[in-house]
Amino acid sequence: MTGEVRMPLDPRPPSPEDVVRPLYTMSVEQARAADLAAIRAAAGAGEPVRHVSDRSLPGPGGDLPVRVYRPVDTAEPLPTVVYFFGGGWALGSVETSDEICRALANAVPCQVITVGYRLAPEHKFPAAVDDCRTAVTWIAEHAADLGVDPDRIAVAGDSAGGNLAAVVALDRRGRGLVAQVLVYPNTDHRGDTASMRENDDPAAFNRRSVAWYWGHYLADPADGRDPLASPLLAEDLSGLPPALVITAERDPLRDEGERYAERLREAGVPVVATRYTGVAHGFFAMSGVVDAAREARAEVAAFLRERFTR
């Protein structure tokens, strides 16, 4: 299927009161609706992309929905970013990252494929990991069917999606990924950092939010020690693809993201690490209202363009 694809709005949108309440005070169902509504409000109108299609691919728990963005009319294989949406492993869908994926597809330019992995608490760790690594493997193995250049595949994601991108890069070490883009990623379930303590506004994304998400994601807190949940705890980070790590100054996850960038650099991985000042967690999805979101996307596009043209 080609042409513009727009999913219908949730038939039961949240009330204005729900939108401003902290998500961690809601039920999972309420938080999912409120999160999508807030993202749509802050993202603005998504850019038109030449071809957008919805399809599915086989996953470990059933078919996985994917959305494919192709910015040009060509039958030639394109460099491809596999994008994982944020939402604390409990919220989100391919709709969550739709505006981001449109912008990146046009800006690089490249093909972008976003994966609708299974969500917690219905599907605990490692379900999301299994879905994402299965999807990347399937995309690489069926590159011709999807118009993918198998020698130019990158992974990217924001927040929990950044966590999943980092984990997939770990899992596929030495198997051809050319880049990883990690936007304010979760990297350590322990969360004992200065930024976690400093950014504790009860009305914003804070340590309670982080604990709420981890609580839904992990069946057992001990699972958080697994590097596939907390990539910062991996003993060896050598041999991973070059990374761009973006963090936000006013974000509980800032320090663990920056520490992951340091660990990658110490392991000999080429790393660009950028902290955007004056902004909070989630800013990357707010291109309609936050200038730094557009700046960060331009940085991501330039980084990917450079990796794809090497």
> Which are the catalytic amino acids?
159, 251, 281
- Amino acid, res. 262: E
The three-point CA angle 248-251-253 to 5° equals 100
**For residue 156, how many C-alpha atoms fall within 13 Å in the half-sphere facing its CB?**
29
Tokens standing for 5? 């694809």
Q: Judge whether 251 and 185 are in contact, CB under 8 Å.
A: no
Sequence-ordered list of residues with C-beta below 8 angstroms from that of 9, at least 6 positions apart, any chain: none
Q: Judge whether 270 and 258 are in contact, CB under 8 Å.
A: no
Sequence-ordered list of residues with C-beta below 8 angstroms from that of 309, at least 6 positions apart, any chain: none
